[in-house]
Chain A
Amino acid sequence: NAGVTQTPKFQVLKTGQSMTLQCAQDMNHEYMSWYRQDPGMGLRLIHYSVGAGITDQGEVPNGYNVSRSTTEDFPLRLLSAAPSQTSVYFCASSYVPGNTIYFGEGSWLTVV
């Protein structure tokens, strides 16, 4: 049982480049979400999904896109990377939001 798998673990991008952070879970969870974690701030919600085909914006959605074509996968796309998007990104899933939540190992992204 892999849980929540997030890739890549580390990435360096140049300003303006695009990339996709992958997130997959094998627990048949309906709820999946992406967060960013910055020094001195709590985890902040970027986008979330309550099921395949359903996504919504979180607290800090600008510059990011998501889609949820399957229950298992919830990729996060950076459209045109900016230095302000340098952060640690976490994907998470749970059966429903109020249930136990499982996190991926994190993706360290640096935009230069």
Chain B
Amino acid sequence: KNEVEQSPQNLTAQEGEFITINCSYSVGISALHWLQQHPGGGIVSLFMLSSGKKKHGRLIATINIQEKHSSLHITASHPRDSAVYICAHVGGTSGSRLTFGEGTQLTVNP
């Protein structure tokens, strides 16, 4: 079992739909990242959170440390949101290692 499990692996939505991507992890962590990878490969950081909830534009990330679970929500989805979304937790000695989920491929159709 991977330390970081994402669901779903693939998600297709219609423009305007509310989207949720889930991330579960099996070890204690100090922080969790949500990343976005566009076609062509570039990876950008969306959120880093260690508790509660963060919001940036149409994106919302939540984390429940006790349940070892995080969610990424996209409101009013748009075709430009089509990308791979990756969660990664910070762990290891001194919190120096990132462990990544396999990613969720999101396709938003117009």
A residues adjacent to B (C-beta < 8 A): 31, 33, 35, 40-45, 48, 50, 56, 58-59, 88, 90, 92, 96-103, 105-106, 108
Interface residues of B in 42-67 (CB under 8 A from A): 42-45, 48, 50
Interface residue stretch chosen among B12-20, B71-79, B92-100 = B92-100
User: Do the beta carbons of B44 and A103 come within 8 Å of each other?
Assistant: yes
Interface size, chain B (Cβ < 8 Å): 26
User: Do the beta carbons of B100 and A48 come within 8 Å of each other?
Assistant: no
* Residues on the B chain within 8 Å of A42, using CB: 2, 4, 86, 88, 99-103
* Residues on the B chain within 8 Å of A50, using CB: 94, 96
Tell me the complex Cα distance, A3–B63, Å: 28
* Residues on the B chain within 8 Å of A40, using CB: 102
Tell me the complex Cα distance, A112–B102, Å: 26
* Residues on the A chain within 8 Å of B94, using CB: 50, 97
| Shortest beta-carbon distance from B31 to chain A in Å | 4
Most central of A35, A43, A106 by chain B CB within 10 Å: A43
Tell me the complex Cα distance, A108–B4, Å: 25
User: Which residue of chain A lies nearest to B6 when distances are taken between CB atoms in the complex?
Assistant: A42
| Shortest beta-carbon distance from A18 to chain B in Å | 24
User: Do the beta carbons of A43 and B95 come within 8 Å of each other?
Assistant: no
* Residues on the B chain within 8 Å of A90, using CB: 43
| Shortest beta-carbon distance from A101 to chain B in Å | 5
Q: Is residue B90 contacting chain A, with contact meaning CB distance below 8 A? A: yes
The 8 closest A-B pairs by CB, nearest first: A42-B100, A103-B43, A98-B31, A43-B100, A106-B41, A42-B102, A98-B90, A97-B96
User: Do the beta carbons of A101 and B45 come within 8 Å of each other?
Assistant: yes
| Shortest beta-carbon distance from B97 to chain A in Å | 6
* Residues on the A chain within 8 Å of B97, using CB: 45, 48, 58, 97
